[in-house]
Structure formats: C-alpha cells, structure tokens
Copies of this chain bind each other. A is one copy, B any other.
Amino acid sequence: MSFNIQILPDNISVSAEKNEILKDVLHRAGIDLEAACGGLGTCRRCDVQVIEGYCDVPAIDGRVLSCQAKITGHLKIIVPEPNGLQDIQVETEFPADDKYAANDEQLVASTDISPLSIKYHLKVPPVSRDEHTSDLERLKIQLSTQTASKKEPECSLSVLRKLPEVLWQGEGDVTVTLTRCQSPEESCRLESDGQPEWRLIQIDPGNTMARYYGIACDVGTTSVTLNLLDLGTGRLLGSASSYNGQIVCGADVISRIIYARKPENLKELTDRITETINRLLNALLTLFKVNLLDVTSAVFSGNTSMIHLLLGIDPKHIREDPYVPVVKFPPRMKAGALGINIHPKASVICTPGVGSYVGGDISSGLLYSIHKRQPGGLELYIDIGTNGELVIIGDEWMMGCACSAGPAFEGVGIGCGMRAADGAIQKIVIEDNGTRFSYNVIGGGKPRGICGSGLIDLVSCFYSLGFIGKDGRFDKETIRDSNNQKLAARLTNNENRWSFTVAEADETDDNKAIYITEQEIRNILRAKAAIFSGCSLLLKKVGLGLSDIQAVTISGGFGQSLDIEKAIALGLFPDIEPDRFEYIGNASLSGAMLTLLSEKHRIHIGRIARSMTYVDLSSELDYMDEYTAALFIPHTDLSLFPSLSP
C-alpha cells in the first residue's frame, strides 16, 4: 500500500511505500537534507515538522528526524528552508596582494606557464597537386614548425572528422589544441626519458588563441572549490564553491565509504560529486561566456577517498585492514570519461597521493607551500579540514600522517558547529573584565553556529576563566562562584547533560540557541590531542623534538581566522613563536593551479608524492600514550609548553 506525502512549503506531493525512510522519500522528491552523520540519527540536521499524520517514531516538539522516520501512513510535513547545500559562491575579484587568495599574482608570475593543453594558431599552406600530402600531414608539418617537441601528436578521431571542413573552408587558417598525455607519474619519468606525448583534440577555423581555458578544482569532503583559469596568461578568472553534493550521504570520509558499500550508492556518490563540479563549472562558464569546448585541461585535488569516489572506484579497502587505496597516482583521463562538462577529450589529472589518508590534496598543498617559500630548517605542514593531516618537511625528506581528528574543527559532531561560512561565529573574546562574551560572525549577520576557530576561542575562553578544568569538564563550583552571574547562569543541566549557552535564541539567525555541551568540549580536546600527538610522534620517529621546528604552515579553511596563541595555549599546536606560523589558505587548490599551469610543477608534485614517507598512526605502538597525554589543556607534560609557564 502506498501513502501520500505532502511536502510544504513548496507543496510537493509524492507517494511512498510503507516502511520507506522519510529521507529517501524526500530525496525522490528532489529534496536533500543535510546528513552530517550519514543517516545515523546523531547530527539531527534532517528534522522536519509534522503537520498531519504520524511516522513510526514519535515527534518531539512536532518534529521528526527524516533519516529515522519510517512511513506508516499519509503525512503532511514542512521541510526547512533551503539549507544552502545548493548555494554557489562565486568570486571574480582577487586582490593581487592577498597572499592567501588563490590568485597569487606573484605565484603566477614566477611560474613557467606550460599548461596541460597547448594551442597553436597555424597557417597551413595549400596543397600542390604533385605532393599528394594528406590534410593531416600538412597540418602536422606546419605544426612541427611551432612545436619544440620531437614526437608527432596523435590526432583524435573527432579532429580528423572536422579536419577537411575546417582546413579547406578557412584556407588553412586554423587553431589547434593539443593535450599533454601524461599523468604526474609520467611527468616524473619524463626527466629521464625525454619526450612528452601529445594528442590533437580540437581544431577550429581562424585564430582562437584567446579562447584557452583550464580548471583547477579542490574536491573537499565538505566543500568543493573550482577555479577557472586563462591558460594563455595563467590568470585566475573566477572561483566558485559550494558544498560537496555527497554531504547528504555522510559528513566525513568514513561515513561516505560506508555508504558506498552498495554499488548503486557508489554510483550515486560519483554522480553527486560530478554534478557538484558541473554546477560550479556551469556557473563560471556562463558568467565568463566560455564555451565548454575551450576548456581543455583540468586538475582535481582531493583526499584519497574523494578522488576514488570522483573516479567511481570503490574505496572500501581505505577503511578496512590493511587500509590501502586502489590507486595513489591516478592515470590521466579524458573529461568525457568522468562526465565533467568540459571538452570531452580534455586531459584530466588528479594530484597524486601518498597513502589512504594522506592524499593528493596534501601533495598539492605541499607543492604550493614549497613553491611559495623555499624551505629553511624543519617545517611542519598542517592541513585541518574534515580531517587533519601533518607533514614534517626536512632537507631531503618528508614524512606525513593523518590524525583521526574527526571533523570537529569543521563544526561536525558539535551540535552548534558549522563550517567557516556566513553565519558562523569565528572569533570569541571575553570583554568587560571577563563578564561578557563578544563574538564576530562571518558575513556580519546574526550567528547560526560556531566554526572551528570560534570553537578554539570558546574553549580557550572557558579555560582562561577557569570555567573548565585541564580535562575539559565544567568546573561547576568556579562557575557558580564567578563574579559574573550573568555568564554563570548560562551553564544549565538538562537530563544530566551540562551545557553552556553561547548565544541565546533571540540573538541567533534561526532563533535557536547556540550552546555547547561538556561532551562536545571533550570532543574538541580529542581532536586537538590527535593533531598534537601526531606531530610529536612523527618527530619522535626521526629523533627530533618540537623545539626543532622552525616554521609551521597551516592550510585548510579552518586556519583563516584562527588565533594562534589561543591554539597554542589549548595545546593544539606546538609552542613556538606565533610569528613562525603562516596560514596559506586553500593550498590544495593553489597547488592544483600550479599543476595545471606548469610542467615543472607537475614533475615536482609527482616527486613530492613519491618521496614522502607515510606513517599509519594506528599501527604505531606509542601513539596511544602520546594521544592520552595530549588530552589535557595544554598537555600533561607542561615542559613542552615553556611559553605557558607562569
């Protein structure tokens, strides 16, 4: 028997079978609610308001979690207003001196421009009757006068089919596009064995040298950012970003790998990321009036699981013992094979990864970081996104690991957490002699939640006020005895669950109070402990200590408004001078741009991925001890934090 499900506010009706999960029914109706927990019922982000009818789970305050509710009869519900999963943010202005912005002009200027695809404007001389040279031969002869490459390009079938018309109608005045046919792995080898391989993928009449584009894309677990570049100049034209459309299938890498267990779900994940990329692409191509056939190369950078899912490869062994990926150096592919809406024969490469949990996004970020600043002394590279990855960079070596930090710093697993986007509290300070919190909201409006840097600030404030102890538990006595009863009153106990209200319902954008529980504070300490202990363990493996670190580079969305001193005080980062920290933004994306633009960088990124030693923390015997010791603020071993000594 099937039931009618009426969905407001858009008044969509859809029929559902008994025992269908409400979330699946909504999905069929084209409504995807965020599911940070992957449908486990823990993130509570998919709740809907029931107006009429009942499900198999009782409604609380008239609301049910759609991932938990099974259909038992007709239903009339209200779904929340669009939650931004479909929103695309487009940027087209990049201050030339913004060292964090993707369009680092200095970076482009110092890059030898040799993109994955090349265009040549040719004047192919007419054939004389005695020569009998074919159209393709004449084209190749003319091309050879312009290319330094010894090897003749292979011609694609589609170019062969267009060749006679374009060549004869334009009297030999044509522009051709060639793609380099090598993945970073091959680029690596090129140093020794010479010639690149080329493929002729496009021919157009006349001079179309100005229509020459490429894309670089960071495929994050949470967000996807796609940059459109003019390959003639190397200039960044525009950047578009949005949530990764896979987010409704799970917030973190592990929940997506679990979701992908069914072949149809794997396909769904691949379709969803492809669709996200194509939406971003479409937004930029429309804005800049670019024909998709003029976009002839692409670089994707992402963690190992995201790249597996983009390529449609089952990632399950990444999560299962012995935790190996199917591929670390993906082969070059054609855009058409991936369903990416640019020139179907465009060369697509994915930045090469190091291991199951240190992916191409890290190689790419390191490429950018090393390019920006010639390393001097031991450097620590930290990427905090949906997961945390660390790399220690020595003179002639690199060693990397992933920390099971979880996505706490992207706001996931924290009831009021959110990513660093409009509405997120990104900074919290204590004002008026410790009597009042003051916060700073991204975008300037009312808050909707707290992002990673705000959480660091918050926990740091609590600690400096004495509201929490070294173990992150609320010190109820201190709070009760506080000379500020207005702040103290914010600590409440509901069903034996202590929580502290950061913003009252009337202060917020959605009239829901923003609060944090004791449990969540301890989750944040777990995350910081994972990162710190990863760092100290890596150093220990090479016989070095925290004090040997000369510089710390931070990448990822989390670092942008981070208060370094507070992060050190919390024990997240090693205790070195704050001015030795540098935040370099979305380095994965910047590295993808370098990979797109220059052969030198394609060779370099392959060398980075090949040369890095990958450490699997879960198989390190010392790791649990290190981790446990780091669970306190700032650490059990205070000698590691000399600057914090009273």
> A-side interface residues toward B, CB under 8 Å?
127-137, 151-152, 154-157, 160-161, 163-165, 168, 183, 185-186, 189, 193, 195, 197, 311-314, 316-317, 321-333, 337-338, 355-356, 614, 616, 619
Please give the distance in Å from A614's CB to the nearest CB on chain B: 5
A165 to chain B: closest residue by CB: B314
Please give the distance in Å from A104's CB to the nearest CB on chain B: 32
- Asked whether, in the complex, the Cβ of A157 is within 8 Å of the Cβ of B197, the reply is no
Query: Can you list 23 A-B pairs with a CB-CB distance of less than 8 A?
Result: A129-B321, A129-B619, A131-B324, A132-B614, A134-B326, A134-B327, A135-B317, A135-B324, A135-B327, A154-B183, A154-B186, A156-B331, A157-B331, A160-B326, A160-B327, A160-B330, A161-B311, A161-B314, A164-B313, A164-B316, A165-B314, A193-B195, A197-B197
Please give the distance in Å from A324's CB to the nearest CB on chain B: 5
Query: Given that A135-B327, A326-B163 are known contacts, is A616 also in contact with B313, CB under 8 Å in the complex?
Result: no
- Chain B residues near A131: list those with CB within 8 A: 324
When all copies of this chain in the complex are counted, the total is 2
- Asked whether, in the complex, the Cβ of B327 is within 8 Å of the Cβ of A154, the reply is no
- Chain B residues near A619: list those with CB within 8 A: 129-130
Partner of A327, one of B155, B313, B325, B327: B155
- Asked whether, in the complex, the Cβ of B160 is within 8 Å of the Cβ of A313, the reply is yes
- Asked whether, in the complex, the Cβ of A127 is within 8 Å of the Cβ of B322, the reply is yes
Please give the distance in Å from A336's CB to the nearest CB on chain B: 11
Please give the distance in Å from A438's CB to the nearest CB on chain B: 47
Please give the distance in Å from A124's CB to the nearest CB on chain B: 12
A332 to B136, alpha carbons, bound, how many Å?
14
Interface centre among A134, A185, A328 (most CB of B within 10 A): A134
A270 to chain B: closest residue by CB: B161
A318 to B636, alpha carbons, bound, how many Å?
84
A155 to chain B: closest residue by CB: B331
- Asked whether, in the complex, the Cβ of A132 is within 8 Å of the Cβ of B326, the reply is no
Q: Which 10 A-B pairs have the closest CB atoms?
A: A129-B322, A136-B327, A135-B326, A134-B328, A132-B355, A134-B325, A154-B331, A164-B326, A155-B331, A164-B314
- Asked whether, in the complex, the Cβ of B132 is within 8 Å of the Cβ of A163, the reply is no
